[in-house]
Structures are given as C-alpha cells and as structure tokens.
C-alpha cells in the first residue's frame, strides 16, 4: 500500500484526503473519456439538427416557453417525474416502475452525489478538463487515499449514500435481468426484440454497476466505503490478499462505461438523453410537421423501445400483427426503412392507446398521420361544390341565433336511432335547437386528416366553419366523437361552446332539465377512442348512466379501453382483422356479465352490435328510454 502512496502527498486537504496519483490521471480512464466525449459531441450535433429542422416559429415558441414560469415549472416537474421517477410506469405496473426508477434515479443520484463529493472534498478537480473534471468525479474513489484517522462525519454520510444508491441501482439491474427471462412477472406479455446495438448497450449497462461495486470494494480500504463496499473489500482481501488486483476491475468498469456511451446513440438508451428535450418541446406546444425531422426526430430518439405499446395495441389480439406496434414503427423510422414505415403507418387504427400509456409520451399516432400526409396530401380532389353549398345555405340558414346547433355528422346518419334519441332529449329538456345537417351535410374533415389529405380537409373545415359561424349559434352539439375531436382542435370556433351529447345530457341532468329514472338494468360503458383518449371525456357519460342503472366496470376502461376495431384511422386493416378486434373489445366489456352495453359513438355502436351477445344501446337512446314521465 505504501508503494501506491509514494507518488502522492503533493496535495493534502485539511480532511486528510490525498491524491494517490500525480496529475490525477491513470490510463484506465481513457475508454470512459473516449465514450463520454463521443456522446457529448453526438448530443450537440443531434440537438443542432433537431433545432435546425424546426420551423422558425416553433423555435421561437420553444425558446419563449423556457422563460414562462408556469411552463418552466411544469418542465422541471415532468423531467423529475417522467425521466427519474417514472410515475407513469409506477401507476400501471409498480414492479416495472421500481425497476426503472431504481436504475434511472439511482444512477442519477450516484452521479450527482459523486460530483458533490468532489466539489466538497477535492474542488480543484472540477475546475477544468485539464484537472480531469470529465472523469475525476466518476472515478473519485480510485484517485484518493483517505487517512482513516481523519474520517469525518460528512465523509461517512457520503460513503453511506453512495453505497445505498449503488445497492438501489443493483436491485433494479437484478430485476431487469430477471425481466429478460420472464417478462410477464413484471407485467409485460410481449417485449421488444433488441437490436445489435441494443444488446451491446444492454449488457454493458448490466455490467457497469456490479463492476462498480467490485472496483470500489477493492479500493475501499484506501478511499473509504460503507455498509456495502467495506464487507466486500474484506471478503476479497481474504481471497486474493493483494490490493493490486483492483486495476483490472477499474479498467473493466471504465471499458463498460465507454462502450455503453459508444453504443448509446444507436440503441434504445438514447431515450435517457433525448427525453428531457422532448419534454421541453412538448410543453412548449410544438407539433409534428415532418415525420422524421424536428420534433418528430426528438420523439423517435426519445422512444425507449420498452414495448409497453405492444401489449396495448388492439391489433395484437392476433400475434401476427405484433409488427405493427408503435415501437417497431418508430424503430423503422429511425432506420429510414421506407417500405415498412408506410405499411405500418397505414395499418394503425389511431386509437391512441399506445400514446396514452407510453411512459415517455411519444405521440406515435400523430407521426403516423404526418407520414400518411407525405404520400396522400398530393392526391387531386375537387371540392368546388362546397362553395356553392355554403352560398346556398348561408342565405337560407341563419336561424340558430343563440340556440344549440346540432351537427349529427356522416356516421350518425347511418344510425338514425341516435339522431332521433338526441332530438327527443333536446325536446324533452326544452332546449331550443337547429339541426344543421338534417338532409345533407359536409363531412367534418377528420377522416381526410386521418387519411393524410390535410389540405383537402382544410377545405371541408372552411366550408363547415362558415356555415356554423353564420348560424350565430352559441353551442355546437355533436353526436359523433370523430367530429368532436376535429371541431375542437382544428376549427378554432371562437365564442362557440363545442359539446358532445354526453356532456350536454350530463349538464341537463345536473340542471334538472331532464330526470333519468333509476332502473335495475346492469350495463357497461364502452369508451370510444376519439371521445375518451381523444377528447378526455370519461366521466360525463358515466355520471348519467349510473343514475339510470347499475353501471359495471370493464377490466380495461377509460384510457385503457380497447378500440372497437372499425375506426376510420386504419387505412388498410382488413375486415377479418377488424372483426377479431371487435370480438376482443366485446370480451373485455362482457367480463362482468352486464345485461347491456352502452356506447356513445355511432361507429362503435355498429361494430359492437355485430359481435355482442347482449343488447347494445347508444347513450342517447338509453337515456331517452329511461326518463321520468
């Protein structure tokens, strides 16, 4: 030991901390330095690339958002909760959440505490690259010798914390290894197949922390340790006797770190560094404009490839469709595999479940939509007839002043029962209304948007908007969730309240304008994708339904509800695949043996009715049937 300390002694701090090496350098840090330099340069270039591809307007928006206190606070909260603690995974699968937060938060704390330790005890080494600020805090324990007689309480607390967080990370790594063998134990039926770079990074990640434990244990009698490293140190000394054994371990530790950083940009672990950027951009309110550049690129690299979306995707009721999951879509986007990108983009039902449960919050349906745009936006169309209708109707229909304007939409016209029931409810409550598309209406534009024909959609949106604004209505009532989403997001109707009929009925019941009759019928409510995940309307229909009968819970409901399979979102999904999805959706609803299924979307209504063993009712229909006379 004395031989190791000969070179030291030039720099003794009051606390008895001595640099064991001249210049605080040893060759073993090289792999780590190469790795970390590579990743830093890569990150810088990546950041410039992403910012370069944003539109000027978006860049200013992003910059401004950083200085708005409210957004800045939200940024901090989101980065802490999503990147470190992973609250979203905790909520759904606690064991998986523990695993991930152990690795992420534990590692983060090790880095922070390591730097803090250096800042307190050897601040000289944080002053610049030449002093080793890049690697010194990481390999602090290697470079120092602490005089046991000078050990302070402050130092001991750090030793304890470092060992504690190392144990925390190791427990996470242990779970991660177990997950590779039996993923279902952590709540995942399917996980993604790792690519080559993923594997390299994964095995390095697994090796980093056990090696760190070994390396720090070997030097624990020189540089201090706590409840974990000290006993391991004693044990190894009993086996090997010679302290010089620690050199290969520190080399291995450094090589693993370096390799991990070298493999990182090509692997799923890029999400660790990209997620904070994505959070900033999302909170600034940016939107995907190109499927592979700018904001989308941040989303693509932020995807952690965890595969939670595989189990969530309704298409995966059949195993052959696993490849259409969002995680693979993002992977192919990252690899620029155009043929597969387009195939997968067209298949998706756009139910939004993958985005709703994504721990990183990657909105892949939106990227898919923009991808469709690249192919379909240029298809020719001729909507000149819309102008004529607008002119005709503008003169004849300006009669809804201050009233409710009811827009049934294309799909409701296929289920006249819904329209009848909505009208009877409006009449019963004494609400004055005007029926906008009684005989003929213009499509809301959402189906065109979903098909990627955004420019064409703008035309129908304009035509409808002119009609609605000219009517002078104060409330726009819709019975189709597909319409609802586009009216809310794209129309920009100022001063007009946009309501789905479930919302209006809930309001009317609360105001006492209609009184539902409590019966004994047991029912279950199916959340339509566009209404629930699309517009966040979950409770209004449930409030009313529980006043009518015995509302049962489905195993998967609200933002986890299963798409009925007939969504307009999918361009190429075949009829027989859709029908399988409808079956699985109905199976989920029938779990509690309800006497009837209720939904609030004309398309879900048709789809579920075709598979359900019990009667299927529309929300308006069942309310209209169960009113106090």
Partner 1 sequence: MIDFGFTVSPSSRINLDKCDKKSFSALAALEPDVLKCMACGSCSASCTAAHFEPTSVRRAILSLQNGQVEQALDLLKSCMLCGKCTMVCPRGINTRHLIISIQKIYGK
Q: Which of 31, 441, 528, 594 binds partner 1 (CB under 8 A)?
A: 441
First to last CA, the chain: 95
Binding mask 153-182 for partner 1 (x = CB under 8 A): ------------------------------
Regarding 511 and contact with partner 1 (CB under 8 A), the answer is no
Q: How do 522-526 and 596-599 pair as beta strands? A: parallel
The set of residues, in sequence order, having a beta carbon less than 8 Å from that of 130 and lying 6+ positions away, is: none
The set of residues, in sequence order, having a beta carbon less than 8 Å from that of 28 and lying 6+ positions away, is: 139, 142, 247, 250, 251, 254
Query: Is 89 strand, coil or helix?
Result: helix
Alpha helices in 303-363 (DSSP H): 308-312, 326-334, 338-347, 353-357
Q: How far is the CB of 208 from partner 1 (least distance, A)?
A: 48
Regarding 219 and contact with partner 1 (CB under 8 A), the answer is no
Q: Which of 65, 233, 460, 585 binds partner 1 (CB under 8 A)?
A: 460
Q: Which of 487, 485, 446 is nearest to 467 (CA)?
A: 487
Is 613 within 8 Å of 590 (Cβ atoms)? yes
Q: How far is the CB of 449 from partner 1 (least distance, A)?
A: 10
Q: How far is the CB of 364 from partner 1 (least distance, A)?
A: 20
User: Which range binds partner 1 by CB under 8 A, 52-60, 419-427, 450-458, 533-541?
Assistant: 450-458
Q: How far is the CB of 338 from partner 1 (least distance, A)?
A: 16
Binding mask 401-430 for partner 1 (x = CB under 8 A): ---------xx-xx----------------
- Name the β-bridge partners of 525: 598
- Name the β-bridge partners of 276: none
Q: Which two structure tokens, joined as six digits, stand for 236?
A: 């190894």
- Could you give the CA distance from residue 400 to residue 304 in angstroms, rounded to a whole number? 51
Regarding 473 and contact with partner 1 (CB under 8 A), the answer is no
User: Which range binds partner 1 by CB under 8 A, 2-10, 17-25, 373-381, 554-562?
Assistant: 373-381
- Name the β-bridge partners of 616: 597
Find the binding residues for partner 1 in span 522-581 (CB under 8 A): 566, 568, 571-576
- Name the β-bridge partners of 244: none
- Could you give the CA distance from residue 475 to residue 592 in angstroms, rounded to a whole number? 37
Q: Return the beta strands (E) in 352-496 as ranges.
A: 404-407, 433-435, 475-478
Regarding 369 and contact with partner 1 (CB under 8 A), the answer is no
- Could you give the CA distance from residue 248 to residue 9 in angstroms, rounded to a whole number? 25
Regarding 388 and contact with partner 1 (CB under 8 A), the answer is yes
CA atoms within 13 A on the CB side of 103: 20
User: Which range binds partner 1 by CB under 8 A, 84-92, 127-135, 451-459, 535-543?
Assistant: 451-459
Binding mask 18-57 for partner 1 (x = CB under 8 A): ----------------------------------------
Q: Which of 27, 232, 355, 196 is nearest to 204 (CA)?
A: 196
Regarding 439 and contact with partner 1 (CB under 8 A), the answer is yes
User: Which range binds partner 1 by CB under 8 A, 251-259, 321-329, 334-342, 446-454?
Assistant: 446-454
Rg (CA), the chain: 30
Regarding 346 and contact with partner 1 (CB under 8 A), the answer is yes
Regarding 591 and contact with partner 1 (CB under 8 A), the answer is no
Q: How far is the CB of 487 from partner 1 (least distance, A)?
A: 15
Q: Nearer to partner 1 by C-beta: 375 or 515?
A: 375
Binding site for partner 1 (CB under 8 A): 346, 376, 379-383, 385-386, 388-389, 410-411, 413-414, 439-443, 445, 447-448, 451, 453, 456, 460, 566, 568, 571-576, 603, 606
């Amino acid at each position: 030991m004395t031989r190791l300390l000969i070179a030291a002694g030039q720099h003794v701090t009051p606390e008895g901390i001595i640099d064991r090496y001249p210049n605080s350098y040893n060759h073993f840090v090289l792999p780590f330095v190469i790795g970390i330099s590579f990743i830093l340069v890569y990150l810088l270039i990546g950041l410039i690339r992403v910012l370069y591809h944003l539109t000027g307007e978006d860049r200013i928006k992003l910059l401004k958002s950083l200085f708005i206190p409210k957004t800045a606070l939200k940024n901090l909260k989101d980065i802490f909760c999503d990147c470190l603690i992973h609250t979203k995974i905790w909520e759904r699968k606690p064991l998986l959440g523990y695993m991930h937060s152990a690795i992420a938060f534990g590692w983060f704390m090790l880095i922070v505490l390591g730097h803090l330790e250096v800042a307190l005890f050897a601040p000289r080494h944080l002053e610049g690259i030449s002093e080793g600020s890049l690697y010194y805090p990481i390999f602090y324990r290697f470079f120092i010798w602490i005089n046991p007689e000078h050990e302070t309480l402050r130092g001991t607390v750090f030793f304890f914390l470092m060992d504690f967080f190392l144990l925390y990370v190791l427990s996470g790594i242990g779970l991660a290894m177990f997950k590779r063998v039996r993923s279902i134990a952590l709540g995942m039926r399917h996980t993604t197949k790792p690519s080559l770079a993923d594997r390299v990074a994964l095995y390095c990640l697994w090796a980093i922390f056990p090696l760190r434990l070994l390396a720090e244990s070997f030097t624990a009698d020189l540089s201090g340790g706590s409840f974990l490293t000290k006993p391991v140190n004693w044990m190894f000394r009993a086996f090997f006797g010679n302290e010089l054994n620690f050199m290969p371990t520190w080399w291995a530790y450094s090589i693993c770190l370096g390799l991990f950083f070298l493999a990182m940009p090509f692997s799923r672990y890029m999400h660790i560094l990209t997620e904070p950027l994505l959070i900033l951009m999302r909170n600034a309110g940016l939107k995907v404009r190109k499927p592979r550049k700018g904001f989308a690129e941040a989303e693509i690299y932020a995807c952690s490839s965890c595969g939670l979306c595989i189990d969530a995707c309704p298409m995966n009721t059949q195993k052959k469709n696993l490849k259409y999951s969002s995680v693979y879509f993002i992977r192919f986007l990252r690899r620029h595999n155009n043929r597969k990108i387009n195939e997968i983009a067209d298949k998706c039902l756009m139910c939004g479940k993958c985005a709703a449960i994504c721990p990183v919050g990657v909105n892949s349906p939106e990227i898919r939509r923009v991808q469709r745009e690249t192919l379909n936006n240029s298809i020719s169309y001729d909507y000149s007839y819309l102008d004529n209708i607008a002119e005709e109707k503008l003169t004849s229909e300006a009669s809804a002043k201050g009233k409710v304007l009811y827009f049934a939409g294309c799909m409701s016209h296929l289920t006249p029962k819904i329209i009848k029931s909505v009208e009877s409810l409006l009449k019963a409550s004494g609400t004055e209304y005007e029926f906008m598309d009684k005989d003929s209406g213009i499509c809301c534009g959402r189906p065109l948007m979903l098909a990627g024909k955004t420019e064409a959609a703008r035309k129908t949106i304009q035509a409808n908007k002119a009609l609605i604004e000219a009517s002078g209505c104060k409330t726009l009532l819709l019975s189709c969730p597909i319409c609802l989403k586009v009216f809310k997001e794209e129309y920009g109707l100022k001063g007009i309240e946009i309501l789905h009929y479930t919302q209006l009925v809930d309001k009317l019941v609360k105001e006492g304008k209609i009184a539902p009759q409590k019966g004994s019928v047991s029912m279950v409510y199916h959340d339509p994708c566009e209404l629930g995940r699309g517009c966040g309307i979950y409770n209004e229909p449930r409030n009313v339904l529980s006043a009518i009968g015995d509302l049962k819970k489905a195993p998967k409901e609200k933002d986890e509800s299963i798409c009925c399979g007939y969504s307009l979102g999918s361009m190429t999904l075949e009829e027989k695949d859709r029908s399988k999805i409808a079956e699985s959706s109905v199976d989920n609803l029938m779990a509690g043996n309800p006497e009837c299924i209720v939904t609030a979307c004309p398309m879900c209504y048709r789809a579920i009715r075709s598979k359900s063993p019990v009667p299927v009712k529309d929300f308006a229909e069942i309310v209209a049937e169960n009113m106090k006379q």
